[in-house]
Each structure stands twice: as structure tokens, then as C-alpha cells.
Chain A
Amino acid sequence: MSVRTDSVNEGAEPESSRLSREDVAHVASLALLELTDAELDEFTGQLDAVLEHAKDIDALDVGDVEPTYHPYPVTNVFRDDVVEQLDVHDAALAMAPEAEDGQFRVPPALGEEP
């Protein structure tokens, strides 16, 4: 992997947050969701309204403000390297939609595209 270096200039990109039907279709495919045409239309309008409302923060200059990823800042929370014996093998496979030979069974990785 590598790090994206085309980092965003504060306030440059987010203005263009008007959402198109294609955007929604693209996002749905990234999220592994199938939408009907009717849903696509409905969601496009609804999501666009939410993004439109959220545009009020685009104007805010927060370039000098540190982001808050955790409300209560702690660091170096570590666990000891000790095995916790918790036999969930059977339980895990029992909850599997399909299992075989102690493993989770799924359709082939690459089958015919639907």
C-alpha cells in the first residue's frame, strides 16, 4: 500500500457535495448493496437533502483545529500476550449459514457473474 499524497485543501472539495444518481449507485456498489431503480431515485433525493443540510460546516475554517477522534484521549492501551482459552469453535460454526469440515462454506470466489 502507499499513502495518498493528493491530500485535500481545507474547504476546497466538500462544496461539490451535490449527489447524483450515479454517485449513489457507485456508493451502493462500494457498500455491496443492490438498489432498485426506485430506491436509487428515492435515496438520491434523501441523501442529497442530508448532504445539503450538512453544507453549513463547509464554510467553517477549522484548518488550525485538531480533530477529536476520541473524546477521552488515552494512549498505549495494551493487552498482555496471553492466550484466552475460549472454545468458540463449535459455537462459531453452529451460527454459520453453511459449514463443512469445521470450516465456513461460501459460494466459489469467482463464479459466473449474475
Chain B
Amino acid sequence: MSTAIEIAAAVSAGEQTASSVLESYLSRIDDREAEIHAFNAVTAEEARATAAAIDASVAAGETVGPLAGVPVALKDNMCTTGIATTCSSRMLEDWKPPYDATVVERLREAGAIMVGKTNLDEFAMGSSTENSAFGVTHNPLDVTRVPGGSSGGSAAAVAAGFAPLSLGSDTGGSIRQPAALCGVVGMKPSYGAVSRYGLIAFASSLDQIGPFSATVADSALLYSVIAGHDARDSTSIPLPVPDVQATLDDGVEGLRVGIISELMGEGPLEGFEPEVLARVRDAANALAAAGATVAEVSVPSTIYGLSAYYQIAPAEASSNLARYDGVRYGHREPGGVNTAAMMKASRTAGFGPEVKRRIMLGTYALSAGYYDAFYGKAQRVRTLIINDLAKAYADFDVLLSPTSPCVAFPIGAKSDPLTMYLNDTCTIPSNLAGHPAISVPFGTGADDLPVGVQVLAPMLGEAKMYTVARAIELAASGGQS
């Protein structure tokens, strides 16, 4: 299978048509989508039209974008004009936005071809994609297992070869954890690096859109296309995007790499699979062999990340999801005798249990009096984590940890919400800090399933993060690539 970079080069040069590339991906989707269920919708018609337009541009000698002819799958919580955007919820089952998300505009301008909208945990709440109202997504590497979540459909789409690239969103690990479980590369950018306009909100101060890909270089390419200031998102960072592609192969010679001890089972946090920890150490050793300085570092407050996260994210979600009331769009339950009854019935019927749990958790956190009691306190813990990470970054360029404490687990194995939440322990600190982090496959763990190594970097430290990720990728492939 070709990489996105190869496809774009071939299409731009007229060596391959976008249409033929698309057909090969559509036929793979035809072959396996029934057993994987990566997509809520495959937009073959629209994709064919876009591919034809790209081919016409190339034939006419026009300049095409850096993703010319590259199929991309989109998590179904990003708005696409006239194409259902459901968040895998009954609430938005038939909802067709009248506008495009900023990332969708940027993909189009770059010449990408959207092949479909991928499945997710309802409103991105979950770590297994089992919370979708439209059915579970299966891990392409073992269809009895989950692909992780919440961007499970996007991770599975890349892993199954349905698209070389996809976009996910990451609030507490929703890109990196499924990337790890599906054996692909998944990256959460710095908060504010990619516009959230048109991303249906889960937790506004944590949500970020980011790329899935088979290779680190493709990840850097897609990141370069979607990142950049957007006036429609007040939290968008008003700075130019660093050229992460230029420094990709700089090598790790002289870089300082810290392994976060608290996320290696050396503190109160438990449940790390030994094979997972072993692969992280292998990756660290490989970096050391490539010239990096590697040492353990303590980031004590990371152990509080999960608790802070489960105050902040549900609080914001409870407010963000209030608008689904059956008045203007989305599901309306018939028979309400008054507006309030109609709204209540619509919300009760439209949301699944996990969404209800989180709305209630967040409503509780905010209703307990002045917001400072829970929400504000959690935001202070967030500062502690940022401060601790800053201390670590005084001595290290990047940090390492597992992405997920475990490999892909069987569908239905984690029915208890708290057990499921504990999956996000390693990924949450980056969301709270707003820092970038990437999951890179490195070997396998239990049952020969892939393990993801997480590279964390400070705010706007995407360039060094990608350099290290590329070195890990190189080591994982035994130096081939």
C-alpha cells in the first residue's frame, strides 16, 4: 500500500489518477467494511466526483494541493455540508450541517478526497467505540476486539487500508489510544493548533482534531495541512505552524528523552500490562542506541489527571450537549404536551447511557454550588500538571510513556464505566496540559497485538515530537523505511 505522500506525488505528477487510487480504496472498503464497520457512511459518490475534479485539474496543468488525490476518512463528529454528521448518536441521526468544519475546508483546498464518515463512541465519549448508537467498530487486526476509542472508526479505517489518512478528535486520548490498539500512528496536536470550528464539541477546553496515518511522515503531512490559525475559533493559536516535515529526519542524536515513571507502573497507578511496559523500554533503548540521552523522570501530579479530567470534561460536556433539545434540529420525541416535556423526552430518547452518565456527572460537578468547588479545583489541578511537566521539560526535550496500559481488549470486556475510564490514564495529562502527543506502534504485546508508545512534547513542540516519533518508527521497522 502506498503512503499518502507517495499518492499525492503520483497524482500531482499525473502518474496515477486520483480516480484509480480512490477505486482501489473503495474496493478494499467493499471487501472488509461489513466485518469492521469503520464507517457510519461511505461517501463514494461525492468522492468520485472530487477525484474526477482533481484529475481534471492535473490534466489541465493546474497546481494541486499537498494531498492531491489522497483519500481521507473523517470522524463523524466533524461537520460536512449536506452530508449527515451524526456523532454516532440517535440525536443527530439525520442531521446534515449547512456548513463545513474548518478542517474540512482545509482538506478540500489541499486536494484530499473524503471517502466517508467514521464511527465513534457517541459524542466521542468512550474508549472502545462500543458506545456508538450505530453498532460497534471491530479492530481490523482481530475483529473480536475493540479498536479503541472514541475515534475507533478512524483508527480502524487506516488500519484496514480503507484510507491512508483519517482525522479523529482527542479529548482524553481518543486519537492516540485507538491508534495504539489498531497499530497505526495517531497524533493529538497542541491545544489551539488545529481549529475546532465545525468539530462537534465534547469538552471544549480539551478537544483537539488530529491525524491518523500508517506512517509518521504521513502524520506530519496531514498535520501541516490542518493546522493553523482560524479566526472562527477564539482559542486558536495565532502563530505560524512550525514546519514539522522539514525536521522529521533530523535524528535523535543529543536529544534528551525522559520516561515518566508514574506511567510505567512505578507509582500508585496500576493495571499496566508488562508487555506494554517492556515495549516502551525497548523503544527508549532504541532511542538511546540512536544517540539520545534517556532517563526516568517523575511527573508526580500525572496521577491526578484522571480525577481532574472526570470533573472538567463532563462539566463542559453537560453544557455543550444542552442544545440537543429537539427544538431546532436532531431527534424530537413525539407527544410532548409542553415544551419542557418535549425537550426532556427528546433528550432521554436521543442520548445513549454513556452520554447520559457524563452529562449527569458534569451537571453534578457544576450544580454543587459555585463552580470553583469542583470544576475550578480540577482546573487548578490542571495547573499542577502543567507545572510538573514544565519541570520535566527543563531537563528533557520529550517524554515517553505507554499510550494505553493495555493492548486491544475483547468487545464487551470492560462494561464498568470506571474500568473503561482508567484506560485513559496515560493520555489524559497531555489534554489537560494542552500539549502535543503522538502514539507510534512499537512491537506487540499480549496476543501479538500492537503496542503504542506515546511521545509527549511541550506546548507547540510538535517538531521535536515528530523527530522522535520518526526515530521510534525507524527502530520498530528494524531500520527499514
CB–CB under 8 A between A and B in the complex?
yes
Interface residues of chain A, those whose CB is within 8 Å of chain B, are: 4, 6-8, 10, 13-14, 19, 23-24, 26-28, 30-35, 39, 43, 46-47, 49-51, 53-57, 60, 62, 65-72, 74, 77, 79, 86, 88, 91-92, 95-98, 104, 106-114
Q: How far in angstroms is the closest Cβ of chain A from B131?
A: 14
Contact B417 A114 (CB under 8 A): no
Q: How far is the CA of A21 from the CA of B133 in the complex (A)?
A: 27
Q: A46-B416, A69-B379, A72-B459 are in contact. Are A111 and B360 (CB under 8 A)?
A: no
User: Does any Cβ of A come within 8 Å of B332's Cβ?
Assistant: yes
Q: How far in angstroms is the closest Cβ of chain A from B303?
A: 8
Q: How far in angstroms is the closest Cβ of chain A from B320?
A: 12
Contact B310 A50 (CB under 8 A): yes
Q: A31-B359, A54-B311, A67-B382 are in contact. Are A74 and B235 (CB under 8 A)?
A: yes
Q: A14-B377, A46-B416, A72-B434 are in contact. Are A53 and B96 (CB under 8 A)?
A: no
Q: How far is the CA of A19 from the CA of B98 in the complex (A)?
A: 41
Which residues on B sit within 8 Å (CB–CB) of A49? 416-418
Interface residues of chain B, those whose CB is within 8 Å of chain A, are: 95-96, 98-99, 190-192, 205, 231, 234-235, 237-238, 303-304, 306-308, 310-311, 318, 322, 325-332, 336-345, 347-348, 351, 353, 356-357, 359-361, 363-364, 367-370, 372-374, 376-384, 386-387, 416-418, 421, 432-435, 459
Residue of B98, B311, B372, B383 near A8 (CB, 8 A) is B372
Contact A96 B338 (CB under 8 A): no
Contact B238 A62 (CB under 8 A): no
Contact A112 B337 (CB under 8 A): yes
Which residues on A sit within 8 Å (CB–CB) of B338? 107-113
A-B contact pairs, 10 of them (CB 8 A): A47-B364, A62-B381, A62-B383, A68-B380, A69-B205, A70-B205, A72-B235, A72-B459, A91-B98, A98-B332
Top 5 A-B pairs ranked by shortest CB distance?
A: A71-B434, A111-B338, A67-B379, A97-B332, A62-B380
Residue of A8, A32, A65 near B344 (CB, 8 A) is A32
Q: How far in angstroms is the closest Cβ of chain A from B329?
A: 4
Which residues on B sit within 8 Å (CB–CB) of A67? 372, 376, 379-380, 382-383
Q: How far is the CA of A25 from the CA of B367 in the complex (A)?
A: 13
Q: How far is the CA of A79 from the CA of B382 in the complex (A)?
A: 29
Residue of A4, A10, A14, A114 near B341 (CB, 8 A) is A114
Q: How far in angstroms is the closest Cβ of chain B from A19?
A: 7
Contact A104 B327 (CB under 8 A): yes
Q: How far is the CA of A10 from the CA of B343 in the complex (A)?
A: 36
Contact B329 A96 (CB under 8 A): yes
Contact B328 A57 (CB under 8 A): no
Q: How far is the CA of A29 from the CA of B378 in the complex (A)?
A: 25
Contact A113 B337 (CB under 8 A): yes
Q: Which of B235, B337, B380 has the most CB of A within 10 A?
A: B380
Q: How far in angstroms is the closest Cβ of chain B from A10?
A: 8
Which residues on A sit within 8 Å (CB–CB) of B344? 32-34
Q: How far is the CA of A86 from the CA of B97 in the complex (A)?
A: 13
Known: A31-B363, A107-B337, A107-B339. 7 other contacts (CB 8 A): A27-B364, A35-B348, A46-B417, A50-B417, A62-B377, A65-B383, A107-B338
Contact A70 B329 (CB under 8 A): no
Contact A106 B342 (CB under 8 A): yes
Q: How far is the CA of A98 from the CA of B330 in the complex (A)?
A: 11
Q: A53-B306, A65-B383, A104-B327 are in contact. Are A72 and B360 (CB under 8 A)?
A: no
Q: A79-B231, A113-B338 are in contact. Are A95 and B345 (CB under 8 A)?
A: no
Which residues on B sit within 8 Å (CB–CB) of A68? 379-380, 382-383, 386, 432
Contact A4 B191 (CB under 8 A): no
Q: How far in angstroms is the closest Cβ of chain A from B98?
A: 4
Q: How far is the CA of A113 from the CA of B99 in the complex (A)?
A: 37
Q: How far is the CA of A34 from the CA of B333 in the complex (A)?
A: 13
Contact B190 A50 (CB under 8 A): no
Q: How far in angstroms is the closest Cβ of chain B from A85?
A: 14
Contact A47 B434 (CB under 8 A): no
Q: How far in angstroms is the closest Cβ of chain B from A48?
A: 10
Residue of A66, A69, A109 near B339 (CB, 8 A) is A109
Q: How far in angstroms is the closest Cβ of chain A from B274?
A: 24
Q: How far in angstroms is the closest Cβ of chain A from B261?
A: 18
Q: How far is the CA of A98 from the CA of B339 in the complex (A)?
A: 13
Residue of A6, A71, A107 near B342 (CB, 8 A) is A107
Which residues on A sit within 8 Å (CB–CB) of B191? 70-72
Q: How far in angstroms is the closest Cβ of chain A from B386?
A: 6
Which residues on B sit within 8 Å (CB–CB) of A56? 303-304, 307
Q: How far is the CA of A65 from the CA of B378 in the complex (A)?
A: 11
Q: How far in angstroms is the closest Cβ of chain A from B122?
A: 14
Residue of A4, A47, A66, A97 near B360 (CB, 8 A) is A47
Q: How far in angstroms is the closest Cβ of chain A from B461?
A: 13
Residue of B322, B339, B353, B368 near A106 (CB, 8 A) is B339
| CB nearest neighbor in A for B387 | A65
| CB nearest neighbor in A for B375 | A67
Q: How far in angstroms is the closest Cβ of chain A from B78?
A: 17
Which residues on B sit within 8 Å (CB–CB) of A8? 369-370, 372-373
Contact A30 B367 (CB under 8 A): yes
Which residues on B sit within 8 Å (CB–CB) of A43? 356-357, 360
Residue of B307, B329, B348, B459 near A54 (CB, 8 A) is B307
Q: How far in angstroms is the closest Cβ of chain B from A24?
A: 7
